[in-house]
Amino acid sequence: MSRIYLRFSVSTVQELSHRDVEIGNLRRQVFEVEAAMRELQMSAIVKEEKYVDQVRLSKTVNKLKESTKTLGTRQIDSLNETVGRLKRMGAEATTGAKGGGGGSTGGRGGVNLEYLKNVVLSYMLSSDAASRDHMLKAIGAVLFFSRAEMKQVHDYNLSWFWSHSQGSVTKKGHR
């Protein structure tokens, strides 16, 4: 009986040894698979970061394109205003030379000058913001102000009126 027990023990020891080798091999395989998985995760993270960078770059390029379009539109508007002003100046010079409108009372130029003088005088003496705004429109029409110039004067007058309407201007406009 002891022989059978010994055989069983030797075969059990061999089996256990064989299983230890298998367990070692399996652990090595698990380690290799985990390492490969970490590499894949790192690769995925790198690809995701590249994708996010490309999306940001694409958005930035689109914003630059839009701002370039806007800038181009502004430049075109500015050039159109300049062309319009030059055309008006050329038409006035032609009308003034043909119609003799250089004097203070003769021709259309004289009427505009007299009208402008009266409107500017009323504008300077007015203390009412609404009437000043209305007269500003008339002055702008006679002098052919562009929209940008009208806005610039209007904004300046708003800031001036606000700062001087706090009680520092008397009824007649004197301090």
How many whole angstroms separate alpha carbon 75 and alpha carbon 65? 15
Q: What pLDDT is stored for residue 72 in this prediction?
A: 73
| Average pLDDT of span 115-138 | 81
Distance separating the N- and C-terminal Cα atoms of the chain: 131
The answer to pTM > 0.75 is no
Helix locations, the chain, DSSP H: 2-99, 107-125, 129-143, 147-164
The string of pLDDT tens digits covering residues 128-150 is 777 888 888 888 888 888 888 88
Question: Could you give the angle at the alpha carbon of 41 between the alpha carbons of 40 and 42, nearest 5°?
Answer: 90
Average pLDDT of every residue of the chain: 76
Give Cα 64 to chain centroid, integer Å.
9
Q: What pLDDT is stored for residue 38 in this prediction?
A: 93
How many other CB atoms are there within 10 angstroms of residue 135's CB atom? 19
Contact call for residues 161 and 126 (beta carbons, < 8 A): no
Those residues whose C-beta lies under 8 Å from the C-beta of residue 142, and which sit 6 or more positions away, are 112, 115, 116, 119
Q: Which residue has the tokens 């800038």?
A: 71
The string of pLDDT tens digits covering residues 33-76 is 999 999 999 999 999 999 998 898 888 888 888 877 777 777 77
How many whole angstroms separate alpha carbon 151 and alpha carbon 157? 10
